[in-house]
Amino acid sequence: MKIVNRIPIWFMRQAGRYLPEYMEIRAKNSDFLKLCLDPDLASEISLQPLKRFDLDFIILFSDILVIPHALGQEVTFLKNHGPLLKSIYSKKDLDYKNLNKALDKISNIFETIKILNSKKKKKNLIGFCGGPFTVLNYMIEGGTSKTHSKIKTFIKNKKDEANDIIKIITEISIEYLKNQIENGANYVQIFESWAGLLENEEYIDFIIKPNQQISKEIREFSKPTKIIHFPRGSRKNYKIFTEEVKCDVLSLDQTYPKELLSLLREKRITVQGNLDPQELLKEGERVEEKTKEVLEKFKKNNHIFNLSHGILPKTKISNIEKVIKVVRDYETSK
């Protein structure tokens, strides 16, 4: 008898600007950070994709930059620009001495998770935070950056200060995730979106070590909780990340070493990914073909279907529906 495995599916940024129902709420709420901290609206947005699509996971609607906000850094989101953070130069610019008090500023997020937990039925609920280096990057750069020159200079010339702030971000991120778990999250994902900027010793110090600590402490806190790591852009460093950071699921972008998939099988780590979100902008049958390629590529691994990054704002809903249908129709036996 052949056992058919249903491949779970969700999309990073599945609650967002490609959905008209999200844009309707967004049009009435210009302050993005305030929206993230409104439990009723944030829970409604989190559930919008599940009402429209046959997905297996609810992901909390929030943002990784709630952590700088909790630490007292001024964070705003400008239309057609993205996040804008008031510059900091050392840990003295942060309110970090009482992390529980700092988390009180974003405690509404835990209320959002409570609401989602009460409505999730048989779906899995994913909470998340930004990886410590990624959050530090935004804090030092003051927002998004093409060159990342400020963060590179900072960790090179002020390494001790950078390490101090990374430790603060790591500690508050751990407490933040613990609160999410206590309120109903059964998966947590750590988005280390700028891991690809670093190599060698810097990669060890600012990517491996903080993510190791998060994974270790969350695992000790809640063994049933599944931990997803996404050190985006790591390329050959995906291998060392897998060897050094214990995780249940590793999310992949487009570029990783060929031997990684066998290592993930050996360690019984589920692979998540990795359709290029640019493919969802294209016409014709290409999206179905590319979806099948991903399914075939990972068919020997435990696999959660996803993208290699988030859904883009101009994505057509019909293309999301096509991807889901291909995944649902795909059969694999193990």
CATH class of this structure's domain 20-329 = alpha beta
| pLDDT digits 0-9 by tens, 38-86 | 999 999 999 999 999 999 999 999 999 999 999 999 999 987 778 999 9
Is the pLDDT confidence value at 332 over 80?
no
Is the pLDDT confidence value at 223 over 60?
yes
Is the pLDDT confidence value at 1 over 90?
no
| In the chain, domain spans | 20-329
pLDDT above 70: percentage of residues in the chain: 98
CB 15 within 8 A of CB 49: yes
pLDDT above 90: percentage of residues in the chain: 94
| pLDDT digits 0-9 by tens, 149-160 | 999 999 999 999
State residue 80's pLDDT score: 74
Is the pLDDT confidence value at 242 over 70?
yes
State residue 4's pLDDT score: 52
Residue 334's pLDDT band (cuts 50, 70, 90): very low
State residue 331's pLDDT score: 75
